[in-house]
Amino acid sequence: MKTMRMCYSVVLSMLVAFVLASTPVSAKEKVKVGFIGPLTGGTSSNGIGGRNSADLAVRLHNANPNGKYEYELVVLDDECKPDKGVQAATKLGADKGVIAAATHYCSAVAIATVDTYHKFGLPVIVWGAVLPDITYGNNYKEIHRVNGTMINQNETAAKFMTGLGYKTWAVIHDTTDYGKGHNKYFSEYVTKNGGKILGTFGVTADQQDFTAELTKIKSLDPDVVYFGGLTPIGVRIRAQMDKLGLKSQFEGTSGIVSEAFIQGTGPLAEGVVAFREGAYPEKLPGGKYFLEQYAKQNYADGPEAYGAFSFAAMTLILDTIEKTGPDRKKVRKALDKVKGQDSIIGEITFDDHGQNTVALISKYVVQDGKWTLWEESEYAAGTRKLMRR
Amino acid sequence: MKRTLPEFGVLLPGIAGLIVLTVYLALLLQVESQTEIAALLVIAVVAALAATRFGVMPRIGRSFREFEGPFSLAIACAVLVMVAYFHEDHFILLLIATVIIYIIVTLGLNIQFGFVGMLNFAGAAFFGVGCYTAAVLTKNTPLPHLLILVIGGLMAAFIGSLLILPVLRTRGHYSAVITIAFGLLFKIFLEVNDVLGGPQGLHVDGMNVLGWEFNKNIEIGDDLEISFYVNYIIVGLLVLGLSFTLVRRLERSWIGLNLDAIRLDETAAACFGLNLIRWKVTAFTVGNFLIGMAGALYAMMVGFIAPTNFTFGDSLIMVSIVLLGGIGNPWGLVVATIILVIVPEKLQAIQEYRFLLFATMVMLMLLFRPEGLLPRPLRTYFPAWKPR
Amino acid sequence: MDIGLLGQYIMNGLMLGMMYALVAVGFTLFFGVLDVINFSHGDVLTVGAFTGLATSLGLTALGISSAPLVVVIVFLSAIVCMSALGAFIARYLVLPLKSAPALNTLLLTLMLGIVLHEAVRLFYPQGANPQRFPSLLSTEAYSFGHFTLRVDSALLLLAGLAVIIGVHLLINKTKLGLAIRAVAQDEETAKLMGINFTLIVLVTFAIGSGLAAFAGIMHGLYYSEINFGMGLLLGVIGFSAAIVGGLGNIYGAIIGGFLFAALQTIGALALPFASAYKDVFAFGVVILIMAWRPTGLISEKVSERV
């Protein structure tokens, strides 16, 4: 009998707690939208900037009295690791309340998750990953992207660097699809423009010691060390180049355009060049508006290089939901048809793979601890000089 | 008639316990508000303490022990009832499936740790062998997918046998380092090896048995849609049932006796003529087989695997489950797995801190209750036989 | 091969080997006195490095900028703090489990390691990101052909060597060292001879953890960067080195450390395929060595007592 009494009391107390705790109150219908990006790990500054920007879009929409729905942003962390990204994507996809999402800064993660979104029929807009295959490697209608791909980026990079007179390169890339993609497109374009690749080195994303690879590169003596990868190992390679007295120019990709790279390398960042699709935030059509609104919310960290894209992606999602109602299929169909939609990053037009066409590539160089547009830098003016120039 | 009444008395606490647990788990899986979840967890802890205090726990334990067969079936049925209840809730079903797969893994580790006393700090690596086998085979061969599960297990057992020689030649700490080194080596190897996808990882096809697509939702009529995870839960339950029976049988057989003898004192066991090498190899291989099989199923379910799934930290979590549950007791593993898999997923607030909390929990456990949540009971050969 | 390049590789290898050896000596000391593996050792190193970083940032905030002074204070603070932490671990976590199965101690320290580095990740400001470690030593460099010798690297190498010689002298020439050796050889007899067992264990843990802190700062100064996960691999490599050398033997640990670094460097240099396989190669060789000499290169001289 004692047993039974115990059981009863346990069940009862649980029920009481259950009833007490569930008291819903809401005026507008609540709609959940998702955001996934790297919130921890070496690329987290970009992820947090993206998160804040998406959050800003949601806040602005919720503040609008004419909006039909009240939006709730579900934020998940992909740690810039493919498997964690798939877990997060599964979580979003499996939650039927989530209607659409802005997802992924890291290409390695984004390419891994496309199947998952397709499986669950969750429409997403990629806000930072640049690997072409994310949109072009499949026919999934769920996947869209507001930023450009690495093809244009590397084409510009190769033309620009050969134009400066550099002749020989050594390539270090991480062995995810992101690094491999950069290696492929950059090597292709640089040879086309008359440059020469002396050696190519694949490294893992959490490698600590690069002295062996860099010592080899030192014996090859290239004009430029091209690095296709993300901030954390970019920082290590730049620092260890200095340790070994390797005096080649350091050239990166959009993966190192972040405050974290400059903080991590300190004075060694000076004169590092990198390339990114899209314009400098202040130069964007709606850049000023975006930066003003962002500043008003008092986020602890800045929007970083891809914040504007994240904001544009989330705004596009919310606008679409307002039009179609909270239904995944309808939202997906509406997104597929987006043409000439006005946004802070300019007009958004998705082609039949869901890819926005952004032709503009910005060239950056670090000057006095800041990513500066090449055209406005003292390097372009000739008052400062890159390595080996 | 005389015998049925006391038997019913023994049976009752078990049935009640099972029902309460099922309802509780269903509640825990269903609620979403963080305060409700926290309240439920507090209730569970209080209830468990109270139950122990008032002697309910041993009674439940007794009815489980004495009617283990029927209760195992009843538990499987309870899981199915829960699955039916949540039939279209992908995420909850994914959690249930993950728990089932992790139980299979820890059963394998239990044979190695709990029975023969071999340290294996490369659990995640053998799990990964199973995963990668499934990924490669589903992509490149037309082999039936159920067979691939078995091959995944065999591959893990085979890779494990490469370690047999150094593991057998060394003892204690020294053999621990071999499994640790292997675990790290495996992850680094995957990361640098391009053929297996490198750090990018691999896509794995969903399971397909006799034309039945596991990755498609089951649609019955117009408005009843059953999540595709149900497929995996059913296969997982079958595999789990087989593994569980195997482990139980093994434990009760003379093989289990031999394994225990070796764990307790190698030298003495050898003196009594037990072949140490034979039994260690058996336990290590069977354990890895189970882990590998679970890995293959997991890979097909989640559809994507990468080296970072199989880190040293993951191996440690597997070991902690075995230790928390009570080394050597398969039922303890079930409880510990449920706690370690479900709680951090549900309680978002601790998700960030989960490693910290688990590690602290295990440390406290080791310091104050080293025998685990449900310590392994004495071997009983006759139901209802009480050692005096 | 170019002699300058060869020199560069040797220099890289020596730096790595020095760090591994310092970590390995800690493992081997712990094992000597208490027959336990302290797997939190690698993460003690991490915490040590972060203590050093915090100290240097604090000093900068206080306006103390004299480089030699900062270096000394950074090293001292990290070593003192970690010695205390090591003694604490021994007193409250390892000693209470002295009579429990070895597996329990192993697990306890593994978990402690997780607690330590997770604490750094969660509670150090921006702890999840790699942190820049300031260059406190002279960054002057001398080039000889392809060989570049940086003053800071050379200083670190010399300091490491001095520490290892210091440990050697401490163990072999002092009364404390004698006591440590006595405890390592036979606990019961040592107690009978009037040696304070607990004290010696605590001191040994303090020394080992201090060495880890030293290695952590060295790591920070050499790579100019530290992160919360750096201790895991360093710990496992240090442990492997200690095991390969033979647990309980300091010289074995030192040899093991340099051997592992040599394997990695050779792996990167001589393997025909990607240099990325160097760690796979190194760990593979460790497993082979274990199969060949199950108790390490310099084995313990004990027979089993039943």
Which chains share 3+ C-beta pairs under 8 angstroms with A? B, C
Is the pLDDT assigned to residue C69 strictly greater than 80?
Answer: yes
Domain C3-292 has CATH 1.10.3470: yes
Q: What is the DSSP string of A114-159?
A: HHHHHHHT--EEESS---THHHHT---TTEEESS--HHHHHHHHHH
Residues 6+ apart with CB under 8 A from A146: A125, A126, A127, A309, A312, A313, A316, A343, A345, A348, A356, A358
Q: Quick one: pLDDT at residue A2?
A: 47
Secondary structure E strands in chain A: 29-37, 69-77, 98-103, 124-126, 143-145, 168-174, 196-203, 224-228, 249-251, 273-277, 361-367, 370-373
Sign of CA dihedral B336, B340, B341, B342: positive
Radius of gyration of chain A (CA): 23
User: Domain locations in chain A?
Assistant: 29-148+281-358, 151-277+363-381
- B270 Cβ under 8 Å from any chain C Cβ: no
Nearest to C263 by CA among C241, C242, C247: C241
Question: In this structure, are residues A193 and A156 in contact, taking their beta carbons and an 8 Å threshold?
Answer: no
In chain C, what residues touch A258 (CB-CB under 8 Å)? Answer: none
Listed range (A320-324, B292-296, C84-88) with the worst mean pLDDT: A320-324
Residues of A with CB under 8 A from a CB of C: 40-42, 44-45, 175, 201-204, 206-209, 211-213, 215-216, 218-219, 232, 235-236, 239-240, 242-245, 260, 263-266
Q: Quick one: pLDDT at residue C207?
A: 92
B97/B99 Cα distance (integer angstroms): 5
Question: In this structure, are residues C160 and C22 in contact, taking their beta carbons and an 8 Å threshold?
Answer: yes
Give the residue from chain B lying closest to A207, CA to CA.
B188
Nearest to A218 by CA among A181, A235, A193, A243: A243
First to last CA, chain C: 55
Is the pLDDT assigned to residue C121 strictly greater than 50?
Answer: yes
CA–chain centroid gap for C153, Å, is 17
A220/C274 Cα distance (integer angstroms): 17
Residue where the block lists tokens 């086309």: A192
Each residue's pLDDT tens digit, C93-111: 888 888 877 778 888 888 8
Tokens of A305: 């290089």
Q: Quick one: pLDDT at residue C306?
A: 47
Listed range (A103-112, A169-178, B21-30, B60-69) with the worst mean pLDDT: B60-69
Sign of CA dihedral B126, B130, B135, B140: positive
Confidence of residue C216 (pLDDT cuts 50, 70, 90): very high
C48/C206 Cα distance (integer angstroms): 13
Tokens of B182: 């292997």
Verify that B38 and B99 share a domain, yes or no. no
Residues 6+ apart with CB under 8 A from B345: B95, B351
Alpha-carbon distance A242 to nearest alpha carbon in chain C (angstroms):
9
Pairing of strands C131-132, C225-226: antiparallel
Q: A340 by DSSP, 3-state: which?
A: coil
Q: Which amino acid belongs to residue A386?
A: L
Phi-psi region for residue A193, left (φ > 0), alpha (ψ -120 to 50) or beta?
Answer: alpha
Q: Quick one: pLDDT at residue A346?
A: 78
Alpha-carbon distance B303 to nearest alpha carbon in chain A (angstroms):
8
Q: Quick one: pLDDT at residue C163?
A: 92
Tokens of C280: 């796979």
Tally of CB atoms within 10 A around A245:
17
When pLDDT is averaged across residues B119-148 and rounded to a whole number, the result is 87
Per DSSP, helices labelled H in B170-225 are 173-192
Q: Quick one: pLDDT at residue C48?
A: 94
Question: In this structure, are residues A170 and A220 in contact, taking their beta carbons and an 8 Å threshold?
Answer: yes
More confident call, C281 vs B241: B241
Is the pLDDT assigned to residue C209 strictly greater than 90?
Answer: yes
> Please, is B182 exposed, middle or buried when counting C-beta atoms within 10 Å of its C-beta (0-12, 13-18, 19+)?
buried
In a domain? residue B388 = no
Tokens of C22: 């310092």
Nearest to C107 by CA among B286, B358, A83: B358
Listed range (A8-22, A309-323, B82-96, B128-142) with the worst mean pLDDT: A8-22
Longest dimension (CA), chain B: 70
Residues 6+ apart with CB under 8 A from B359: B320, C111, C112, C114, C115, C118
CATH number of this structure's domain A151-277+363-381: 3.40.50.2300
Radius of gyration of chain B (CA): 21
In a domain? residue B375 = no
Please tell me which of the candidates A2, A6, A21 has its beta carbon nearest to residue B35.
A21
Residue where the block lists tokens 């190194």: C282
Nearest to C240 by CA among C9, C37, C49, C47: C37
More confident call, B358 vs A183: A183
Half-sphere exposure for B7 (CA within 13 Å, toward CB): 7
Residue A124 phi/psi, 5-degree rounding, is: -130, 155
> What's B346's domain CATH number?
1.10.3470
Is the pLDDT assigned to residue C181 strictly greater than 90?
Answer: no
Confidence of residue B169 (pLDDT cuts 50, 70, 90): confident
Verify that B28 and B67 share a domain, yes or no. yes
Looking at the structure of chain B, the number of domains it has is: 2
How many inter-chain contacts (A to B, CB under 8 Å) are there? 114
Confidence of residue B5 (pLDDT cuts 50, 70, 90): low
Confidence of residue B292 (pLDDT cuts 50, 70, 90): very high
Is the pLDDT assigned to residue C128 strictly greater than 80?
Answer: no
Q: Quick one: pLDDT at residue C55?
A: 92
User: Domain locations in chain C?
Assistant: 3-292
Is B33's CB within 8 Å of A18's CB?
Answer: no
A60/B229 Cα distance (integer angstroms): 38
Is the pLDDT assigned to residue C302 strictly greater than 80?
Answer: no
Is A215's CB within 8 Å of C9's CB?
Answer: yes
Verify that B75 and B133 share a domain, yes or no. no
In chain C, what residues touch A213 (CB-CB under 8 Å)? Answer: 268, 275
Alpha-carbon distance A376 to nearest alpha carbon in chain B (angstroms):
37
Alpha-carbon distance C19 to nearest alpha carbon in chain B (angstroms):
19
Q: What is the pLDDT along chain A (389 residues), one digit of tens a residue?
A: 444 555 555 555 555 555 545 444 446 788 889 999 988 777 788 888 889 999 998 988 888 888 888 888 888 888 888 878 888 888 888 888 889 999 988 888 888 888 888 888 899 999 888 888 888 888 888 888 888 888 888 888 888 888 888 889 999 988 878 888 889 899 999 898 888 888 888 887 777 888 888 888 888 888 999 998 888 888 889 988 888 888 889 999 888 888 888 888 888 888 899 988 877 777 777 778 888 888 888 888 888 878 888 998 898 888 888 888 888 888 888 888 888 777 888 778 888 888 887 767 888 899 888 888 888 888 888 888 887 76
Question: In this structure, are residues C86 and C206 in contact, taking their beta carbons and an 8 Å threshold?
Answer: yes
CA distances (Å), B213 to each of A90, A117, B208, B228, in order?
Answer: 19, 18, 5, 9
In chain A, what residues touch B56 (CB-CB under 8 Å)? Answer: 2-3, 6
Is the pLDDT assigned to residue B4 strictly greater than 80?
Answer: no
Nearest to A160 by CA among A253, A81, A259: A253
A259/C289 Cα distance (integer angstroms): 46
Is the pLDDT assigned to residue C151 strictly greater than 90?
Answer: no
> Please, is B30 exposed, middle or buried when counting C-beta atoms within 10 Å of its C-beta (0-12, 13-18, 19+)?
middle
When pLDDT is averaged across residues C249-264 and rounded to a whole number, the result is 88
Is C276's CB within 8 Å of A207's CB?
Answer: yes
Domain A29-148+281-358 has CATH 3.40.50.2300: yes
A350/A332 Cα distance (integer angstroms): 12
When pLDDT is averaged across residues C117-132 and rounded to a whole number, the result is 82
In a domain? residue B376 = no
Q: What is the mean pLDDT of chain C?
A: 84
ipTM over 0.85? The verdict is: no
Q: What angle do CA B258, B264, B267 make, to 5 degrees?
A: 85
> Please, is A329 exposed, middle or buried when counting C-beta atoms within 10 Å of its C-beta (0-12, 13-18, 19+)?
exposed
Confidence of residue C79 (pLDDT cuts 50, 70, 90): very high
- B191 Cβ under 8 Å from any chain C Cβ: yes
When pLDDT is averaged across residues B324-350 and rounded to a whole number, the result is 79
Nearest to B168 by CA among B319, B279, B291: B279
When pLDDT is averaged across residues C123-147 and rounded to a whole number, the result is 78
Which chains share 3+ C-beta pairs under 8 angstroms with C? A, B
Confidence of residue B1 (pLDDT cuts 50, 70, 90): very low
- The percentage of residues in chain B with a pLDDT greater than 70, rounded to a whole number, is 89
Domain with B355, as residue range(s), is 89-368
pTM of the model: 0.83
Each residue's pLDDT tens digit, B191-207: 777 778 777 778 887 77
Q: Quick one: pLDDT at residue C83?
A: 94
Sign of CA dihedral A216, A220, A225, A227: negative
Verify that B23 and B113 share a domain, yes or no. no
Of B85, B110, B138, which residue sits at a domain end? B85
